[in-house]
Structure 1
Amino acid sequence: MKISPEELHTLETIKSDEYSLDKTTPYDKDSYLKILCYAKYLQIALILVFFIIGCVITPVAFETGNNQEINTFWLLTVLLGAHLFSLFLWLMFQLKKPVPTASETTWFTDLLKRAVNLTGAHNQSFQCYVRLHFSQATGRWYLGRVVHSAWMGYLIGGLLSALLFLMTHQVTFVWETTLLTATDFQSLTKLIGTLPSLIGIPTPSVEDIATSQINSTFQSDETRKTWAVWILSCVFIYGVMVRLLCTVICHVLYRKKRNDLWQQLVQSRPKTYHSTREIIDENHHDTAVSRTNITPLDALSVADFPSDSSYFLFEWSRVAPSIVASNNAIVPLNDSVAQQHYLEDSNNDRIIVIDAEASPDRGSLRFMRNADSVTRSFYLHGNRFAHAWSQALQENGIAAEKVARMKDQSEDSL
């Protein structure tokens, strides 16, 4: 499992606020990746538990005794009742419950934190995960997706268990009532069978309903089969399909709200950076240059790239630029060990390629400043934070002629 580039960029952005990671180390990123994996495994475990519960509980609804008779609508109530009731409660909570904040805990985050504590994962990484996935309305739709997918597992388990039971047992479907009439049952059956009939599932006829009343003398195999298929189709449509639809809706809304949240976090960080230069490195004012002396970025084309230099991709999380990917001397600088080796090497004919789709932070700029003396050039690939990177590098004492924006082959062809 990998951290998406958008999530990695947002994670880097919030590292200097109240949920910050104290140090930019491989351990922090590995710890965050572990939490992502645990969250995924926890969701899968919940679905499997509900699936097993559905498989175990459903046969109880088919208890027939010696007469092998099953009350049709009571069976539907048992199979779908808990599901529909929980769905109703969820809808009520959505209407009444306020939007959660990142500091609030939920039953899911509580379970996840227990698992995280057992493995010794970094607690601040966990706080970052909660903020990125449970702040604002994001957490509401995240939990909705978990709940609906778990119930879908329960219903699939129940449906398969019911199918297996009906394939291995011959039962008689009956109905009985004290207050309702046969006409009421016919109307109810027709109403419930509206959606199954749209996909070709036949609704039990008036004759099927009449011969299924309790104490009737005869029920044909065809009538029993009609009732069995109709009941299974009702469980599938009103149970599995409804939960699947809710899961998809929650997933789409979760992704939308999550992306909006991440965009807000990323956009809020550059404003802080531009307004307060101490956020880059408060201990190195003497090497910074005036903002009025910032030199605009030069854009290099493919032909400008030195072929005799070694290229180093700094904390790279996406596909390497095509011109760099064709170079044999490529070294990633994605951890503190590689960065330390880079600084210890006196060879100064090297080029660092920076992912300008991610915003600059204090740790990254500290490394760039230390690497200035052993680096030929700093290339910025991407447009999102290219200006912020150029300004930050020059403010940290790196000569303007050593900083340029890297245009890929696709840009040269335009």
Structure 2
Amino acid sequence: MSDKQASFKARWQAEAVRLLQGAASDLQAEAGAREGAATEAEQRVLRWAAIIGARHQLPEIQSAWRRHCILILMVISVLALAGGFTTALTVLGDGTQAVNIPWALGGLLGLNLLMLIFWLLGMLARSDGALLGRLVFQLTHYLPGEHHKALTRAFATLNQRADLMRWWLGLLSHTVWLCAMLGALFGLLWTLALRSYAFTWETTILSADVFTALVHGLSLLPQTLGISIPDAATLVGADQSQADEVRRQWAAWLTASVALYGLMPRLVLILISSIRLLVGLRQLRLQTTAPEWAPLVQRLTPDLNERHVTDPAPEAGQAARIVPVSNPRPGTSVLVAYELTAIKPWPPAELPEHTQCLEVNSRGQRQQSLSALAEARPGTLMVICDARLSPDRGTLHWLVNAGSLAGVTQIVLHNSEQSSDERLTSWHDSLRDIGVDIAHIHHAMTEALNQLGVHNG
């Protein structure tokens, strides 16, 4: 799966699977991800998530989550539409009294413009600032089921890292406010079509010049669209005997103001938010180098044993070497009994704190031990091998993988006294070739374990 083919939905699913899985290892999914043709870490992660997601039907749950979000948005938008319609009816009244133009403008546009200013300030401060958007998204947290909650958290986490969450919330908020202004516009047109209204300007402390300046300022945009500007003087001292032509002019001016200053800004911002999201989602990638992804990425790195098992034997100087992990956990250690089915007692008695014991006797246990080491990142890895057996390629490849997940690797050649000199030499040469220091090769298990403070009573 290439970067272009990988969709936001696939990356969203991967983030949700990570949250659901936690630190738990899924050997089947990890093996499947390693066996694919993917060369990039993100591609293997997406394959891993697709395997686990299909098992838990996450694609279907994702679709259901999106439908629930759309339903929530639709319900809130319908309520906003009804609220805007009701506001228009309330502001204009029943027609028995003249409509105060500034009061009507404030009632129809005031809250919308105030929230728009808050959103703009929030965007400048790089916060979401979209109250209605947060309300819509917050309601998704109440969807039932662990998978729904994980998808909600994954959606937020993925988009916040890409600085897209504020655009999502803004898009939701602008959509709701657009519906509110549509409701106000419909209510305004409905009421003006069924009732006859006179318009006036009433004030106690302001002069007529203030109102005239307001009308001329708000008329700049309507005038460019060819909408006639009524004379502000016609409202001073107006009463119910106002001429029909004057009433129609003020009705058109009020309707145009609501459409241009209430509706159009939200439409433009919806378009801007949508374009920003489209561009951002195309560029979005999983941050596989982040600490929360690192253990999984290590486990998904193709195993050297699987990578080379069918290849010809490597020539001298071409053997893979141990590369110690860069961030081991100091003071921790792991003991591994490698193909020692008869070792007694195991695990050793009186293990010190922060010491873990593992056994490796099968292919499945090799994979499990590597997963455990990837999570543990021990400061010291001590592997106990049977010196009577030859150091075959499978063993050496596993040692390279295991040693690359720890700080220091030490090898104990158990039963050295029962092995031939030729075989011990082969062990020493092979271990040196993969990067094990000669000082870290032991022949007496008791002494080696005592270095870690382990009693092998």
TM-score band w.r.t. shorter chain: 0.5 to 0.7
* Paired letter, 2:113: L
Partners of 1:79 and 1:37 in 2: how far apart?
Answer: 32
Runs of 4 or more consecutive aligned structure 1 residues displaced over 6 Å after TM superposition: 266-269, 271-275, 290-293
Which one of 189, 201, 208 corresponds to residue 182 of structure 1?
208
Gaps spanning 5+ residues in structure 1: where?
A: 294-365, 367-394, 396-414
Query: Match for residue 308 of structure 2?
Result: 289
Q: Quick one: which of 270, 276, 279 aligns to 2:300?
A: 279
Distance 1:15 1:110 in 2: 17
SS in 1 for 2:227: coil
Of residues 76, 86, 90 in structure 2, which corresponds to 1:46?
Answer: 76
Within 1, Cα distance between the matches of 2:94 and 2:9? 57
What corresponds to 2:177 in structure 1?
151
Change (3 A) 1:172 1:275: closer
Please give the per-residue CA displacement for 1:285-318, whole angstroms capped at 9, x wherever unaligned: 654327998xxxxxxxxxxxxxxxxxxxxxxxxx
Partner-residue secondary structure (3-state), 1:288: helix
Q: Counterparts of 2:9 and 2:115 in 1: how far apart (Å)?
A: 36
Q: Partner letter of residue 166 of structure 1?
A: L
> Structure 1 length normalisation: TM-score?
0.58
Superposition pairs for residues 14-413 of structure 1, below 5 Å? Answer: 14=15, 17-18=18-19, 20=21, 23-25=52-54, 27-63=57-93, 66=96, 68-98=97-127, 106-114=134-142, 116-117=143-144, 121-205=147-231, 209-215=232-238, 218-260=241-283, 262-265=284-287, 276=298, 278-279=299-300, 286-289=305-308
Question: In structure 2, how many angstroms separate the alpha carbons of the residues matched to 1:63 and 1:122?
Answer: 46
Check the 8 A contact 2:119/2:128 in 1, yes or no: no
* CA distance in structure 2 between the aligned counterparts of 1:64 and 1:214, rounded to whole angstroms: 20
Distance 2:187 2:151 in 1: 41
CA positional deviation for 1:49: 1.5
Partner of 1:7: 8
Distance in 2 between residues matched to 1:184 and 1:79, nearest whole Å: 20
Q: Secondary structure at the match of 1:263?
A: coil
Would the alpha carbon gap of residues 75 and 124 (structure 1) be closer, same or farther in structure 2, given more than 3 Å must change? closer
Aligned-partner Cα distance in 2 for 1:15–1:148: 27
Q: Is the 8 A contact 2:91 2:104 kept in 1?
A: yes
> How far is 1:141 from its partner?
0.6
- Partner Cα separation in structure 1 for residue 297 and residue 15 of structure 2: 17
Alignment RMSD:
3.6
Q: 1:59 to 1:229 in 2, by over 3 A?
A: same
Partner AA of 2:11 in structure 1: T
Count of residue correspondences: 277
| Cα distance between partner residues in 1 of 2:186 and 2:240 | 31
Identity of aligned residues (%): 21
Distance 2:175 2:89 in 1: 22
CA contact (8 A) 1:203 1:226 kept: yes
Q: Which residue identity is paired with 2:104?
A: L
Q: Shift of residue 250 of structure 1?
A: 1.8
Q: Structure 1 pair 35/228, CA: closer, same or farther in 2 (3 Å)?
A: same
Residues 14, 265 of structure 1: 8 Å contact kept: no
Local SS of the residue matching 1:137? coil
CA distance in structure 2 between the partners assigned to 1:158 and 1:279 by the alignment: 56
Q: Which residue of 2 aligns with 1:390?
A: none
TM-score, structure 2 normalization: 0.53
Deviation of 1:200 after TM superposition, in Å, equals 1.1
Using the alignment, how far apart are the partners of 2:158 and 2:296 within structure 1? 23
122-131 or 145-154, larger mean C-alpha shift: 122-131
Larger Rg, first or second structure (1 or 2) = 2
CA–CA distance in structure 2, aligned partners of residues 256 and 232 of structure 1? 35
Measure the CA separation in 2 of the matches of 1:197 and 1:71: 22
Distance in 2 of aligned mates of 1:112 and 1:177: 47
- Given that 1:72 and 1:174 are in contact with CA atoms closer than 8 Å, whether structure 2 keeps it comes out as yes
Deviations 1:329-353 (A, max 9, x none): xxxxxxxxxxxxxxxxxxxxxxxxx
Aligned partners of 2:84 and 2:184 also within 8 Å: yes
Q: Deviations over 1:54-75 (max 9, x none)?
A: 1122211012563x31111111
The structure-2 alpha-carbon separation of the partners of 1:274 and 1:139, relative to structure 1 and needing over 3 Å to count, comes to closer
The one-letter code sitting in structure 1 at the alignment partner of 2:236 is Q
- Contact preservation (8 Å) 1:32, 1:126: no
Distance in 2 between the 1:99 and 1:273 partners?
A: 32
Range that drifts further, 84-93 or 176-185: 176-185
**Distance change in 2, residues 1:274/1:18 (3 Å):** closer
Q: Distance in 1 between matches of 2:117 and 2:92?
A: 25
Other structure's SS at 1:33 match: helix
Structure 2: unaligned runs, 5 residues or longer = 22-48, 313-366, 368-396, 398-457
Contact 2:170 2:273 in 1 (8 A): yes
Is 1:155–1:239's contact at 8 Å kept on the other side of the alignment?
yes
Matched-pair contact (CA < 8 Å) for 2:109–2:258: yes
Query: Per-residue deviation at 1:47?
Result: 1.6
Distance 2:14 2:95 in 1: 65
- Shift, 1:6, TM fit: 1.1
